[in-house]
Amino acid sequence: MSEPVPAQLTKRACRSGFAVLIISALAALAVIVLAPPASGLASGPPSHREQVRFMWAMAGQESGWDYHARNATSGAFGKYQIMPFNWPAWASQYLGDATADQTPWNQERVAYGKIRDLYGWLGSWKRVAYWWLTGRTERRERQWSSYSRGYVSNIMRLRHEAPRDAGALPARTSSRSAPGDWRRSAGTQRLRLSVAGRTWPRRGAVHDGQLLRVRSVSDSHGGRRWVRVVTRDGRLGWLPQLDTLPAVRPAAAQRWGDVSQRGGLLLPDRQLVRPRPR
């Protein structure tokens, strides 16, 4: 018969065993925390080169790399087809100015910041592209629609074709409209007789997509920027800058001839890009 183990030794052995268990658990936790992420997830921020290649591909899918493309159905605008209700919040976050104009320079800075944050959150370029199209975070590609899968596939294919200068930025211009600029109405609205004043009593309607030319600008009302515009038929009035969008100068300025009549509205050919879901 073996001799009984002293109580003190038994307690010491239990304490030692418990310590071993604690150490083992901590080691296992460290492995979980420090282990590389699962396949397909980001292990850190993307390189600048990697990101601009993806952005070039996405812009090709969204707009054909056109800074002035506008979707007449959803109102999405610019090279990256940013939705109108997203622009003020994103411009505030990445430019520090919710009223910033959607100039080419500003489009690039806002898209770069937002896409970088999305990659850090979602973990892969495929999921970033899927979110940009749908606003959803579904991980399982088999749950995506066939349209979504085709959209993402096109972007991933284009990414390998990005030119060396894919990250080149356009000229930096002011976020303020200036006399002589061409604008386009971002919705159906009415001209105002003065800054934040009364609307035109008659014939003051400006249709969605209509070309306008800036005569003067004002920041005199609560920090909101206003532009005094002239319409194609010679009407003058004021509109908030955010209710208009940058536009290219018509090929025949005297006739404002790069627009075509469709359904009674003045819609440019460049608006005819693929529909975006809301």
| Residue tagged 């104009």 (tokens) | 101
- Quote the tokens at residue 226: 């206003």
Torsion of CA 115, 157, 126, 32, to 10 degrees: -110
Q: Looking at this protein, which amino acid is placed at residue 13?
A: A
DSSP string, 27-96: HHHHHHHHSPPPTTS-SSPPPHHHHHHHHHHHHHHHHSS-TT-B-TTT--BTTTTB-TTTHHHHHHHHHS
Q: Which residues fall within 8 angstroms of residue 10, CB to CB, at 6 or more apart?
A: none
- The answer to whether 183 touches 242, Cβ cutoff 8 Å, is no
What are the 10-residue block averages of pLDDT along the chain, 278 residues in total?
48 47 44 38 80 97 95 92 96 94 96 97 97 96 96 96 93 89 94 92 90 91 86 93 91 52 35 38
Torsion of CA 130, 132, 138, 140, to 10 degrees: 10
pLDDT of residue 256: 62
Instruction: Say how many C-beta atoms besides its own lie within 10 A of residue 190's C-beta.
Output: 14
Q: Looking at this protein, which amino acid is placed at residue 209?
A: G
The residue count of the chain comes to 278
Across 216-238, b (16+ Cβ under 10 Å) vs e yields ebeeeeeeebbbbbebeeeeebb
pLDDT of residue 26: 43
Q: What is the pTM of this model?
A: 0.76
- The answer to whether 76 touches 95, Cβ cutoff 8 Å, is no
pLDDT of residue 252: 64
Quick one: how far is CA 107 from the chain centroid? 8
Q: What residue ranges define each of the domains in the chain, with the CATH number in brackets?
A: 48-159 (1.10.530.10), 182-270 (2.30.30.40)
Q: H or E stretch including 111?
A: helix 104-122
